[in-house]
Chain A
Amino acid sequence: MALSEPVLTKRIPTPPFGDPRNRHLVGYDEYVNTGGYAGLKKALAMDPKAVVGVVKASELRGRGGAGFPAGLKWGFLPPEDGRQRFLTVNADESEPGTFKDRLLIDFDPHLVCEGIAICMHACRLDTAYVYIRGEYHAQARTLQKAIDEAYAQKVFGEGSILGQINGRWPQCYVHRGAGAYICGEETGLLESLEGKRGWPRIKPPFPAVAGAFGRPTIINNVETLAMCGPILDRGADWFKSLGKGRPAGAPPTVPASFGPKLFGVSGHVNRPGVYEENLGVKISTLINDYCGGMRGGKKFKAAVPGGISMGVVGPDEIDAELDFDIGKKHNCLGLGTAGVIVMDEDTDMVAVARNIARFFSHESCGQCTPCREGSAWIYKILCRIEAGQGTTRDLDLLLELAGSMGAMPGTTICGLADGTNWAVRTILNKFWGEFEKRVTAERYVSLNVVGVR
């Protein structure tokens, strides 16, 4: 069922509810006059643990890529010990196809501030850093302005309506990254925040126990936090009436996909952009009802469901439902950031694979050999195939290389390598014929057999 009213985009005119030409930066006064900070007020009237309870009950799942339940994460924090505890807001948004957090910061930054304040109150965190990617120059300025307003209105700072937390007045700072995709990975982000190169850490310990500066730290995506205001204002049941629940009769251990979500659609559609819809919306619905159909009336060929690390869905999967279960149903990694990249019939999938491999090769932080070397070789092999100099053996080699790298096969520290793995394997497997046509046949002689008989 389609979303009946905008939630995250309430103040950001977006089709079908509004005309993007009417978008403007919503300041503090307009935000409050349109119901803003009502969720924070309700949260402040509650015991912090009860606020965590509401978020837990809503089953809000992280919007930054991994879909981890936010309330559960908040529950991992150790008891307070009077020393500093941190919130780091992940505004690094650098995964190709992803441009949704930017929309919130560009036009309704107080929605993000409200979520930050709610999380600080609920989790007893006294200092928040918004880690925003360095290339978001304008967004960093807009956000700083909103935070300044929030300070003036006593959301943060001395005399804050949150009161003292851990014996300190709550503070919220913008911290700019400097151009490295890996700093979006939560522990890479922490290292970078501490002034070092963004090398992801080996886990455990998890950030909730030992995060920024060795202290308990919560890391959430911008959109995840932005969702907290509306949830606190309208309740967990309201949130769970939206999106896609678990199948009838399924036990509560089966993860569901409740709530609305921002979908950034790019590529070969007539009206690319960020749209808000219930989780579970079909790719075809986004393309046809929101994006004005395929560009030039071309046929659909493939789509990335949510940022390139998720892999692709093929020509017969246009009706795939975009929810947290998409990975299992359509043989891709998952929903990711819900940045949908649409490709039409003229798209060269070898070129797509080459582009994606180059991205991962370039952005690998270099700590783990399978990721650093594997992605570089995958890129080289794909360039060779694109140039018409590949062999059938290269295709097997690609699958073998890709399949052996990632945190899930257990060969690397972080999930960047899994992205390479899934992107390359799904493109290759779902468009095998296209790759085969581009290479020359070469009989594969396995070294294992040589000399045995």
Chain B
Amino acid sequence: MAWTMKNSAGAPAQEQRAEPYLTDEMKKEFEANLLPRYPTRRAATLPVLHALEDKYGWLPYQALEETAQFLGLTASEVGDTASFYEMFHLQPKGQYLIQVCQSISCELTGHEGIIGAIEKKLGIGLGETTKDGKFTLTHAECLGSCGSGPCCLINDKLYENLTTANIDQILDALP
């Protein structure tokens, strides 16, 4: 959540491409199944951005513009919303986003060792991406898994009761 500048909210890349990010197929699906849920088109902003982020792994500036046009908003309105949320990335990230919880219950149960183990294994620090573009490592605040910490999210999957040994296996097992 951001009023400070953070990596994911950094200046968006502005390249344009001919092919739209928000495809006609997506638009049709949203018109049919998403927009009827809300009294305003703007309320669909988060679900549409989620769908784009899922599809492309991040939100290029052009995708924000297309979302704005589709929802009848200005690009700055969509940008304002997108930059506020931790899960929307305005810059590319690795294929796997590893988010290690750093909140209190996980610090009490040793999240630091886990971050250290990952850093050593992947050769990157917090906020960095491996050269092959496979892994990005960051930390997160409480993931709602405090009773089974330390824990981390890798993309949409939660891993609990981490140890320096099992995190190694978990990373090795990723395709």
Chain A residues within 8 Å of B, Cβ to Cβ:
84, 93-99, 102, 133-138, 171, 173, 175-182, 192-198, 213, 215, 264-268, 272-274, 304, 308, 339, 341, 343, 347, 351-352, 355-356, 358-359, 362-366, 372
Contacts and interface: CB of A to CB of B under 8 A. Distances in A.
A96 B87 contact: no
A97 B105 contact: yes
B1 A267 contact: no
B81 A196 contact: yes
Contact-residue bracket for chain B: 35 or more
A177 B86 CA distance: 10
Contacts of A197: 80-81, 83-85
A176 B47 contact: yes
Contacts of B156: 137-138
Interface in B98-150: 102-105, 107-109, 140-149
A447 to B, nearest CB: 30
B108 A198 contact: no
Given A179-B85, A195-B45, A273 B147 contact: yes
Contacts of B143: 135
Nearest to B147: A272
A362 B44 CA distance: 26
Given A133-B144, A179-B87, A308-B104, 15 more contacts: A96-B141, A96-B142, A98-B144, A134-B50, A134-B85, A176-B50, A177-B46, A179-B85, A181-B141, A181-B142, A195-B40, A196-B45, A267-B104, A267-B108, A358-B102
B164 to A, nearest CB: 18
A274 B146 CA distance: 10
Contacts of A192: 46
Contact of B43 (A177, A193, A308): A193
B1 A268 contact: no
Nearest to A135: B143
B105 A195 contact: no
A178 B144 contact: no
A134 B87 contact: yes
Nearest to B49: A178
B146 A97 contact: yes
